[in-house]
């Protein structure tokens, strides 16, 4: 080829070009960002609307339905999900992958603005639109405690000093704090003193607010100066608050301290945090959207070291650090790639027995990898487990082209030709063949762009990386290898003599191939039977979406019945803590009681969450999954629902593996049938932590105001409601400022006076004319319990069952569930659907099957163009079903499961297995054009190409062995691909040496018969049409 001739004639120019590529590649590498997974943002947004005091059914009708109708018209909407709960509506809009989410959010806001003033009720807050962002998930979680100071001072110091320092750290977007005590000035009104002076709550609250003000009055002149006039009335001490005068009619005034206790205390505890059993606060650190996770985490650690020096009495415990697993995973993948590369080089040396030849090919590998970094940089592909996994997959293939070229040059040198002549002839002879074989591998990745959903977004980086590396290796094989061979490739007389002879292995292979060609139909029949037999093994393999990775971080969330008080929830957390401390693999435990997860801002007294960090994988005997199983088995607390999961995986969704939805309209029927479904599937093997969406609703005490009677006393609903709220939870009257900080001044009734419904109804309310009216005269009370949540999808109600899987694959478990639920007779209009991870898996597999078929078509087209023939590509395509036999056997024997990575491995394999057959068929045709008989050409070409075929196959297989064995952290994501390619290529290579020559002979026989009949010539004449 001309490019090879140019590199041989201009070695210095070629060397400079290669050095420029290396230089740019090193610069590009230093600028590539580092992360665990590709930057994937789930294409969705949430619309949150608050409407205080309104039940879930009213929220559904008044808020959720109008919003659903409005947003459904936005372009690119795939699905609309909603949750209507007490006082709030959350509508989640899912868009098609590829939709520009910035514009999508603008479209959503436009639709919401159109209905806010008309379709939504006046009392509802303005809807808030949030775009899903993976950066919202914390990259680090710290537990903070201190010696010698209380929780209130710890929290205040952390908020004022530590958090601002951390948020100034490059790449940090936000730091969220949970736990601790909040300082508050508490004014506890004594009911008997209020009644004695004929005072009410609202009056006291109003007076405190009016007394605590600074008011600007404008400017006055003093000589030639202007002075700002300010009336200063803000409280400067607690005593000033106690000394506030309260008018009591003709009696004059009383001080606030005469009717209330005023103390500098703490707000009611909403959340409780502990680190390794010690009271603490927790800090969740979120990175900026475009920031590098590893760089941000390293900067945070450095800042934490600086903080530790400034605050030596503080203790910081890391409960979660995503960067550690990222670094370990990247190092593991890189190490596997290096080991694979060294094994490939070793194989080359064993075959060539020539150190110079081996070094020439060995240079192809690093040069190709560095060139790949250049293409990755310009394609905006970062360094992550997936992209580096693609590079590791390509390591063995990087030398394939170089092996074919050098082996052919080496063969010509062994035949006695000179360096330059051998380099020119050897590279030219196989040039088009390696271009075709490279393109067949590259084109199989083009259909990946048609794979929709998370799978396509996740593995696009892998496809690009492999394609880039192969194109780089092709360039190196056509330029650097011929140039180096023409300069430094030496060969001894013994090697020349050996090259002219046929070795024992080649002689044995020639004999076996000759025998096989005489039994063509028997071998083809055995192969077809093997293919059918292997397909029979498929039902026993199972399938899942993406294998989980053993990161060593566990997330535990628990729920008690809604309405459970915080102290009871804390008691349950303490029991779980004791169990965790007893597990030897556990290193750090942070618990937050009063919130369902680390990102939740609203308090939930009945819920809590744990962040559990395990020892590094090398220091523990069990996997994260095995530790999770023990936790599930040992936690057995009455009325407690627990969810134990790994902190792993990309994307923005939170679907559990099993998600069965029952669609219908009537809530009572939904609840009844979903309970029947739970009973039907609860004993399915492998199903754990089964939950349904009909949680127990929160008990509510409803006070129905008698409007007619209230109006006679001059009272309205708002006045009554404010009095009740103040009596139950108090109300913030004003803010107390000290040393630049502000604290709430909360007015409430003294102590635990309002702790029952009876005491609440004994409250009195002051009427405008001064009379004190008992609350029980104005309201009628009843205790009710409405649905906790109403779920909808695409404007249709549903109930759902969610669960995790333990010890079985997803496909087998869902298959058993479907079998059980098919036996349930549902009312008309009600149906089960299977969503969550199962739905994602099915969608991904459907896209991948299409991608596989399209890849096969593209491979055929490339080969048809290469051979200028419609027949020869069919010969070569026969390697794909042979590879499938090996794939199925490999998955079955290794106990692996069919997943998205293994399917991608199959697509990759379809482009790899044809490469050796291309080289063989291409050389058969060359020999036939030189005048050799068909059978003679088949045998001679196969025998001559035996060594390069074995070399390229073994280098690829051995390079992938570390990946196939799943060695190191993060290897789970790429291990299935390694298993598929190694097993498929091993089986296909062995059969290629015999089956491809047989199929070639059969198809050319058929072709000769057809040509002879069409052209009216004999078979011998027809055989000249190659």
| Strand ranges, E, within 700-740 | 700-705, 731-738
User: 677 forms bridges with which residues in the sheet?
Assistant: none
- Return d(Cα 203, Cα 247) in angstroms, integer: 10
Buried b (16+ CB within 10 A) or exposed e, 288-326: eeebbbbebbebbbebbeebeeebeebbbbbbbbbbbbb
Residue 639 is classified by DSSP as: T
What distance, in Å, lies between the first and last C-alpha atoms of the chain?
22
Q: What tens digit of pLDDT does each residue of 896-951 get? A: 888 888 888 888 888 888 888 888 888 888 888 888 888 899 999 899 888 888 88
Angle at 721 between CA 718 and CA 724, to 5 degrees: 150
- Nearest-angstrom CA–CA distance, 10 and 15: 9
| Positive or negative: CA dihedral 156, 157, 162, 167 | positive
- In angstroms, rounded to a whole number, what is the distance separating the alpha carbons of residues 941 and 928? 10
pTM (2 d.p.): 0.74
Q: Are strands 140-146 and 172-179 parallel, antiparallel or unpaired?
A: unpaired
pLDDT for 660 equals 93
- The number of beta carbons lying within 10 Å of the beta carbon of residue 701 is 14
Write down the CATH number for the domain with range 184-266+700-784. Answer: 3.30.2090.10
Whole-number Å distance between alpha carbons of 360 and 405: 11
Neighbouring CB atoms inside 10 A of 349's CB total 15
In this structure, what are the phi and psi dihedrals at residue 753, rounded to the nearest 5 degrees?
Answer: -65, -35
pLDDT digits (tens, 9 = 90+) for 664-712: 989 889 989 999 999 999 889 888 888 888 765 556 677 888 888 888 8
Say if residue 711 is exposed, middle or buried (CB neighbours under 10 Å; 0-12, 13-18, 19+): exposed
The C-alpha atoms of residue 319 and residue 822 are separated, in whole angstroms, by: 44
Report the candidate in 909, 913, 924 with the shortest Cα–Cα distance to residue 872. Answer: 924
Is the dihedral angle over the CA atoms 509, 515, 518, 524 positive or is it negative?
negative
Q: Specify the 3-state DSSP secondary structure of 793.
A: strand
Let me know: does 776 contact 757? Beta carbons within 8 Å. Answer: no
The pLDDT, as a whole number, for residue 265 is 83
For residues 588 and 144, the answer to whether their CB atoms sit within 8 Å is no
DSSP label at 84? E
DSSP states along 257-313: HHHEEEEEEEPPP--EEEETTEEEEEEEEEE-TTS-HHHHHHHHHHHHHHHHHH-TT
Structure confidence at residue 757 (pLDDT): 57
**Cα–Cα distance measured from residue 173 to residue 284, given in angstroms and rounded to the nearest whole number:** 11
Domain-wise residue ranges, the chain: 2-31+354-545+842-1022, 44-131, 184-266+700-784
Q: Which stretches of the chain drop beneath a pLDDT of 70? A: 1, 53, 251, 396, 449, 491-503, 596-603, 647-655, 695-700, 729, 751-762, 784-787, 968, 970, 1018-1026
SS3 at position 659: strand
> Rounded to whole angstroms, how far apart are CA atoms 33 and 60?
44
Domain 2-31+354-545+842-1022 fold: Multidrug efflux transporter AcrB transmembrane fold (1.20.1640)
Structure token digits, residue 116: 């806010």
What's the confidence (pLDDT) of residue 787? 65
What token pair was written down for 497? 């003599």
Q: Which CATH number fits domain 44-131: 1.20.58.480, 3.30.70.890, 3.30.70.1430, 3.40.50.150?
A: 3.30.70.1430
Between CA 855 and CA 445 the distance in angstroms is: 7
| Three-state DSSP state, 17 | helix
How far is C-alpha 446 from the geometric centre of its chain's CA atoms? 23
Continuous segment of H or E residues that includes residue 516: helix 504-517
Per-residue pLDDT, 601 = 43
Contact yes or no for 911/441 (Cβ under 8 A): yes
């Amino acid at each position: 080829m001309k490019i090879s001739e140019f590199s041989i004639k201009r070695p210095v120019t070629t060397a400079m070009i290669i050095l420029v590529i290396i230089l740019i590649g090193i610069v590009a590498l230093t600028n590539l960002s580092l992360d665990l997974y590709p930057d994937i943002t789930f294409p969705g947004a949430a619309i949150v609307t608050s409407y205080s005091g309104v039940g879930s059914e009213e929220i559904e009708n008044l808020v959720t339905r109008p919003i659903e109708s409005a947003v459904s018209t936005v372009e690119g909407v795939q699905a609309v999900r909603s949750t209507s709960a007490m006082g709030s509506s959350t509508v989640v809009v899912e868009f098609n992958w590829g939709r520009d989410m910035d514009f999508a959010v603008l479209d959503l806001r436009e639709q919401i603005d159109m209905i806010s003033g008309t379709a939504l009720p006046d009392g509802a807050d303005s809807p808030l639109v949030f775009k899903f962002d993976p950066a919202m998930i914390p990259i680090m979680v710290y537990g903070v405690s201190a010696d010698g100071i209380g929780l209130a001072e710890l929290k205040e110091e952390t908020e004022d000093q530590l958090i601002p320092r951390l948020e100034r750290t490059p790449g940090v977007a936000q730091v969220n704090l949970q736990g601790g005590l909040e300082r508050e000035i508490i004014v506890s009104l004594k009911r008997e003193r209020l009644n004695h002076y004929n005072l009410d709550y609202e009056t006291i609250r109003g007076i405190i607010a009016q007394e605590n003000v600074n008011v600007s009055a404008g400017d006055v002149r003093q000589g030639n100066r202007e002075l700002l006039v300010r009336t200063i009335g803000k409280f400067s001490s607690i005593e000033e608050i106690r000394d506030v005068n309260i008018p009591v009619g003709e009696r004059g005034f009383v001080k606030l301290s005469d009717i209330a206790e005023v103390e500098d205390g703490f707000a009611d505890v909403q959340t409780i945090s502990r680190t390794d059993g010690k009271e603490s606060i927790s800090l969740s650190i979120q990175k900026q959207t475009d920031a590098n996770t590893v760089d941000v985490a390293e900067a945070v650690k450095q800042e934490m070291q600086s903080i530790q020096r400034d605050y030596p009495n503080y203790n910081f415990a890391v409960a979660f650090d995503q960067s550690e697993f990222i670094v370990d995973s990247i190092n593991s993948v890189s190490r596997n790639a290096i080991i694979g590369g060294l094994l490939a080089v070793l194989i080359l040396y064993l075959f060539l027995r020539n150190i110079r030849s081996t070094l020439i090919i060995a240079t192809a590998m690093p040069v190709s990898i560095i060139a790949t970094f250049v293409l990755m940089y310009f394609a905006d592909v970062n360094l992550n487990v997936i992209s580096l996994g693609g590079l590791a997959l390509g390591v063995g293939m990087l030398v394939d082209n170089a092996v074919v070229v050098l082996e052919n040059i080496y063969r010509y040198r062994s035949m006695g030709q000179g360096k330059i002549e051998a380099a020119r002839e050897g590279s030219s002879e196989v040039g088009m063949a390696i271009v075709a074989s490279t393109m067949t591998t590259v084109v199989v990745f083009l259909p990946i762009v048609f794979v929709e959903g998370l799978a396509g977004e996740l593995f696009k980086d892998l496809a690009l990386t492999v394609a880039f590396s192969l194109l780089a290796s092709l360039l190196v094989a056509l330029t650097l290898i011929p140039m180096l061979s023409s300069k430094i490739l030496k060969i001894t007389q013994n090697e020349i003599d050996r090259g002219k002879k046929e070795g024992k292995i080649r002689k044995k292979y020639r004999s076996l191939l000759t025998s096989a060609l005489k039994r063509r139909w028997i071998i083809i029949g055995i192969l077809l039977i093997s293919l059918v037999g292997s397909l029979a093994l498929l039902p026993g393999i199972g399938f899942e979406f993406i294998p989980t990775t053993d990161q060593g971080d566990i997330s535990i969330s628990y729920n008690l019945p809604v309405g459970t008080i915080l102290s009871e929830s804390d008691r349950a957390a303490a029991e779980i803590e004791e169990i965790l401390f007893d597990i030897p693999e556990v290193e750090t435990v942070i618990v937050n009681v009063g919130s369902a997860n680390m990102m939740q801002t609203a308090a939930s007294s009945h819920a809590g969450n744990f962040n559990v960090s395990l020892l590094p994988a090398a220091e523990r005997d069990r996997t994260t999954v095995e530790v999770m199983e023990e936790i599930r088995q040992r936690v057995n607390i009455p009325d407690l629902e627990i969810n134990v999961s790994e902190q792993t995986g990309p994307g923005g969704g939170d679907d559990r593996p099993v998600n069965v939805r029952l669609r219908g309209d009537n809530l009572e029927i939904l609840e009844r049938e979903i309970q029947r479904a739970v009973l039907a599937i609860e004993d399915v093997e492998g199903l754990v932590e089964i939950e349904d969406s009909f949680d127990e609703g929160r008990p509510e005490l409803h006070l129905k105001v008698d409007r007619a009677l209230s109006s006679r006393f001059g009272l309205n609903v708002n006045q009554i409601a404010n009095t009740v709220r103040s009596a139950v939870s108090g109300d913030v009257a004003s803010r107390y400022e000290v040393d630049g900080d502000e604290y709430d001044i909360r007015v409430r009734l003294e102590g635990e006076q309002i702790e029952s419904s009876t005491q609440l109804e004994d409250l009195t309310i002051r009427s405008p004319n001064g009379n004190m009216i008992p609350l029980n005269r104005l309201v009628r009370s009843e205790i009710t319990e409405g649905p906790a949540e109403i779920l909808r999808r695409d404007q249709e109600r549903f109930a759902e069952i969610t669960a995790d899987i333990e010890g079985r694959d997803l496909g087998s478990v869902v298959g058993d569930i479907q079998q059980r639920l098919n036996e349930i007779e549902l009312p008309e209009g009600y149906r089960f659907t299977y969503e969550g991870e199962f739905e994602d898996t099915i969608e991904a597999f459907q896209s991948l099957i299409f991608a596989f078929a399209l890849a096969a078509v593209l491979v055929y087209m490339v080969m048809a163009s290469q051979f200028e023939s419609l027949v020869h590509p069919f010969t070569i395509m026969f390697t794909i079903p042979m590879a499938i036999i090996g794939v199925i056997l490999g998955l079955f024997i290794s106990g692996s499961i069919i997943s998205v990575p293994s399917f991608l491995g199959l697509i990759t394999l379809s482009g790899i297995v044809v490469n050796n057959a291309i080289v063989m068929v291409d050389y058969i045709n060359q020999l036939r054009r030189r005048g050799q008989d068909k059978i003679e050409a088949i045998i001679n070409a196969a025998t001559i190409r035996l060594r390069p075929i074995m070399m390229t196959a073994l280098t690829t297989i051995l390079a992938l062995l570390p990946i196939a064995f799943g060695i190191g952290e993060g290897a789970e994501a790429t291990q299935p691909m390694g298993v598929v390619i190694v097993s498929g290529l091993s089986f296909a290579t062995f059969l290629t040496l015999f089956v491809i020559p047989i199929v070639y002979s059969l198809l050319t026989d058929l072709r000769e018969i057809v040509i002879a009949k069409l052209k009216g010539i004999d078979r011998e004449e027809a055989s000249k049409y190659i």
